[in-house]
Amino acid sequence: MPASSAFFALPRAALCVLVLLGPAPAAPAQFTPLKEPPAWGSLNRHQFTLTRTDFEARLPLYSPDGSIHQWLESGPLGVTVHATPEKNAPLWTLHWRRPTRAGGQGPLPEPVPISWKTLQAFTGATLDRPLTGLTICLDPGHIGGAWAEIEERSLVISRKPPIREGDMVLIVGRHLEKLLQEAGASVVWARDRPEPATPLRPSDLAWEAVQSMNNLDPRTLARLPAKNFLRTHLLRANMLFYRSAEIIARAERVRALRPDFTLCLHYNAAPWGKFSRPRLYNANKLVVFVHGAYTGGELADEIQRFHLFRKLLEGSAPLELALAGAVADALRDGWGFPPENYDSWNVAARAGDNPYVWARNLLANRLFDGPTIFVEGPYMNDRAMFARMQAGDYEGEREIGGKIVRSLHREFAEFIAHGVISHYRRQLE
């Protein structure tokens, strides 16, 4: 048995002792990226690119409740982010752009692709091929295949064959790739097969799983039956694998690919209670997420404040909002489902005027470089959609539930493509 796998064979008492002993030596950086010291100096390329007015106009998308201000100290020359709410431990200062003096040198240009900021036409783009010059990254959510059970993204109802989100959105992505390419785009992938992007596996994260249990109540842990204790540890390792290591690996791919924007593809679901006993509903809503809506609790973590600044200064929000709105409109027109409403949920906030577009601080759209749009499709556990998903992918039309319908996955791809193409075609008219 490999040493990294041995933790899963440890008896409850041994694991409990490891947890109660407290933090171990620091884990490798790729395991705990949210706890690594943020590279504030990497943001210096954005010095003198924003006025104070520009900065303050961008900030509400990222901190809707204004909680970021307890960490900021603004002045006439710039804004300083602090390590403490007392504002006595400066971490980094952003200097405001200064007005151009007569005969002097103008401000430095913002170091981001023009396509993110101005939405102008690209050289060679036409109404027939409006995506010419664009590189678009597709990120089919989750993993699918043999990993769907670990991810809890495999839905089984009444002994019917399972439907796996990771597999279905990969099909959507393949149809979407063709449509985007026909419109002139180059398409790259953060994941193009039902396999993890990360080389790590849950057994490689056993020690990190122990560390993550340090925040649990020791008395509660000590009273857990052995099988429950070991299951808690295993679930922690699994989550670190598919929610952390996998997303980090994809972020590294996106960073290397340098796309103009990334489309994260997902099917949604209504809460279904226990994973082992899901239920079907007659309900469907739609949402498209852009990056933002950091909570006050999240901003207490310095690395979260760093990423807020990184994404704000990146300047990707205008394109995110415009594309998200265009895709949301296409989904609404295609399916007619109402928008989600997260007004009572503090981890999401309305973004712009489109009722289908919301901001969320997700790990992927926080770590991915460039504009990143999360597209959430119909509910997997809606009765009508479940039947269409059971039918799989197919050409032409079939009768499902008394209606003649096309492949749901092809519809999804077509609606997304229509939104993206419509947005860029409008720039040429």
Q: How many residues does the chain have?
A: 429
Q: Is the domain of 130 the same as that of 59?
A: no
Tens-digit pLDDT profile for residues 329-371: 999 999 999 999 999 999 999 999 999 999 999 999 999 999 9
Residue of 275, 210, 153 lying closest to 21 (CA atoms): 210
Q: Is the domain of 127 the same as that of 72?
A: no
Q: What is the predicted pLDDT for the residue at 259?
A: 95
| CB contact at 8 A, 245 and 198 | yes
What angle do the packed helices 317-335 and 408-426 form, to 10 degrees? 130
Q: Is the domain of 76 the same as that of 148?
A: no
Query: Which residue bears the tokens 């796996």?
Result: 164
Domain final residue, candidates 95, 129, 154: 95
Residue type (1 letter), 135: T
Residue 325 has φ and ψ, to the nearest 5°, of: -65, -40
pLDDT at 123 over 70: no
| CB contact at 8 A, 96 and 107 | no
Domain final residue, candidates 62, 95, 128: 95
pLDDT at 104 over 70: no
pLDDT at 313 over 80: yes
CB neighbour list of residue 416: distance below 8 Å, 6 or more residues apart: 172, 176, 263, 265, 327, 330, 331, 375
Q: Is the domain of 16 the same as that of 64?
A: yes
Q: Is the domain of 127 the same as that of 73?
A: no
Tens-digit pLDDT profile for residues 76-96: 999 999 999 999 999 999 999
Q: Is the domain of 85 the same as that of 125?
A: no
CB neighbour list of residue 61: distance below 8 Å, 6 or more residues apart: 290, 292, 293, 317, 349, 351, 359
Diameter over CA atoms, the chain = 76
| CB contact at 8 A, 327 and 375 | yes
pLDDT at 277 over 70: yes
pLDDT band with cut points at 50, 70 and 90 for residue 168: very high
- Assess if residue 207 is contained within a domain: no
**CA–CA separation, 200 vs 204, rounded Å?**
6
- Assess if residue 106 is contained within a domain: no
- Assess if residue 194 is contained within a domain: yes
Please report which helix (H) or strand (E) contains residue 78, including its range.
strand 78-82
CB neighbour list of residue 401: distance below 8 Å, 6 or more residues apart: 383, 384, 387, 388
Cα separation of the two ends of the chain: 63
Q: Is the domain of 180 the same as that of 127?
A: yes
- Assess if residue 50 is contained within a domain: yes
Q: What is the predicted pLDDT for the residue at 428?
A: 85
Q: Is the domain of 223 the same as that of 368?
A: yes
Residue ranges in 240-353 assigned as alpha helix (H): 246-257, 296-299, 302-314, 317-335
- Assess if residue 292 is contained within a domain: yes
Provide the domain count of the chain.
2
Residue 36 belongs to what domain range? 3-95
Q: Is the domain of 157 the same as that of 83?
A: no
| CB contact at 8 A, 24 and 207 | yes
Q: Is the domain of 375 the same as that of 252?
A: yes
Q: What is the predicted pLDDT for the residue at 17?
A: 44
Q: What is the predicted pLDDT for the residue at 158?
A: 82
pTM of the predicted model, to two decimals?
0.88
- Assess if residue 226 is contained within a domain: yes
Q: Is the domain of 79 the same as that of 228?
A: no
pLDDT at 112 over 70: no
CB neighbour list of residue 118: distance below 8 Å, 6 or more residues apart: none
Q: Is the domain of 90 the same as that of 118?
A: no
pLDDT band with cut points at 50, 70 and 90 for residue 270: confident
Where does residue 312 rank: exposed (0-12), middle (13-18), buried (19+ CB within 10 A)?
buried
CATH of the domain at 242: 3.40.630.40
